[in-house]
Structure 1
Amino acid sequence: MEKSNTDARVHRMFAGDRRWAVLAVAVLWATYAFVFWKVVPNAGSPEVVYALAFAGGVVLLFNSASIFAMLKHYGEDKEHIYGLDLHYLDLLRGKKG
């Protein structure tokens, strides 16, 4: 497989994946905020609200951290990760690589 450090397709693929990942994290946070906002009036006691906030915060923290760690890894190794995809896409399209 031929490896090119200047293949613009690699950078475009990574940029697209990064945009979708950040959008997914934003949607996750918005969903949790909306659900929390709707549930709080029915929670009963402040202790329940604190427990819900803490549990939701932990879930958001770990999910966000995992997505950003994935993006960091993809950014460091994008030539290999996306290069393989492009190699096989080129083969499917009949291009010589």
Structure 2
Amino acid sequence: MYRSDVRGSVLLIVCLWATILFVLLMTWAYIPHGGIKLVVVVAAAAVLIFNTAAILAMLNHYREDKDFIYGLDIKNADAYRNRQS
């Protein structure tokens, strides 16, 4: 379960970076002034840095509390399976 969450998080980070960079490249020619371009680049960098940091912090928290977090999921899944039998 943890590895699946890590893979999903990494995929989300890659998609986020690809999307932001794609939008930046596609709109770059339509931004008329250098000052506005600077603001757009700084804003895009802030979004990328803070969202990436938040996802990495979440993964770090998951790693630290892996037994507790996923233990509850496994326990509840086992209880659900036993109830259906």
Range into which the TM-score falls when normalised by the shorter chain: over 0.9
Structure 1 runs, 4 residues or longer, greater than 2 Å off = none
Q: Identify the structure with bigger relative contact order (alpha carbons < 8 Å, sequence gap 6+).
A: 1
State the 1:70 CA deviation. 0.3
Cα distance in 2 for residues equivalent to 1:20 and 1:77: 18
Match of 1:68 among 40, 56, 70: 56
State the match for 2:24 in structure 1: 36
The CA RMSD measured in Å over matched residues stands at: 0.9
TM-score (norm 2): 0.95
Query: 48, 59, 65: which one pairs with 2:47?
Result: 59
The alignment status of 1:94 with 2:82, answered yes or no, reads yes
TM-score (norm 1): 0.83
d(CA) in 1 for partners of 2:11, 2:58: 14
Greater share of helix: 2
List runs of 5+ in structure 1 lacking aligned partners.
1-12
Sequence identity of aligned pairs in percent?
A: 40
Aligned length: 83
SS of the aligned residue for 1:37 comes to helix
- Segments of structure 2 that go 5 or more residues without pairing to the other structure are none
